[in-house]
Amino acid sequence: MDTLEKRRGQCRYIRHDKLFVQLRVSSEKVSSEKVDAVSVTLLCHSCDASINGLKIEADREMEINSPVELWLAFEGLEKKFYLHGRVCWCVASEEIAEFYQIGIELDEAHATDYADWIELLSCFSD
């Protein structure tokens, strides 16, 4: 994980917030039915956050470059953030069996709360 830690350019803020991740997965990973892709919604927890991304923990492995939609509630805030990104890395957790730590790179997608996200995390560095 050392090489992953070195790639981070922004300050990371340790978090443990609940979030829902909607992930599009190919049908062969879900069932034997003939469907191009399906969406799966997972309950996850954040480990840390920055302006450009999140490290989360989930009980499911996620494929690199998979697009994800995130609904994140920061503890102590009423606002929930809708964000979009992609999976940039995924490794088995060293602490919890059958869990994965996943890096999500956020993007500035239309109709998301990315601008509010930047404003919130910018306040942490003041």
d(CA 62, CA 73): 21
Is residue 78 very low, low, confident or very high in pLDDT (cuts 50, 70, 90)?
confident
Residue 11 is part of a domain; what is its CATH number? 2.40.10.220
Query: Which tens digit of pLDDT belongs to each residue from 42-52?
Result: 889 888 989 99
> How many domains is the chain built from?
1
pLDDT tens column, 6-38:
455 566 667 777 888 888 765 444 444 545 567
Q: Dmax of the chain from CA atoms?
A: 52
Domain that holds residue 94: 2-124
The tokens for 58 are 């989930």
Query: Which region among 10-14, 32-36, 97-101, 121-125 has the lowest average model confidence (pLDDT)?
Result: 32-36
Predicted pLDDT of residue 25:
64
Q: What is the value of pTM for the model shown? A: 0.78
Look up tokens 């929930």; give the residue: 80
The amino acid present at 64, given as its one-letter code, is I
Cα 116 from Cα 65, distance rounded (Å): 24
Contact present, 57 and 96 (Cβ < 8 Å):
yes
Q: Which residue has the higher pLDDT, 125 or 94?
A: 94
Locate 52 and state its tokens.
Answer: 């450009």
Compute the C-alpha angle 20/89/58, nearest 5°: 35
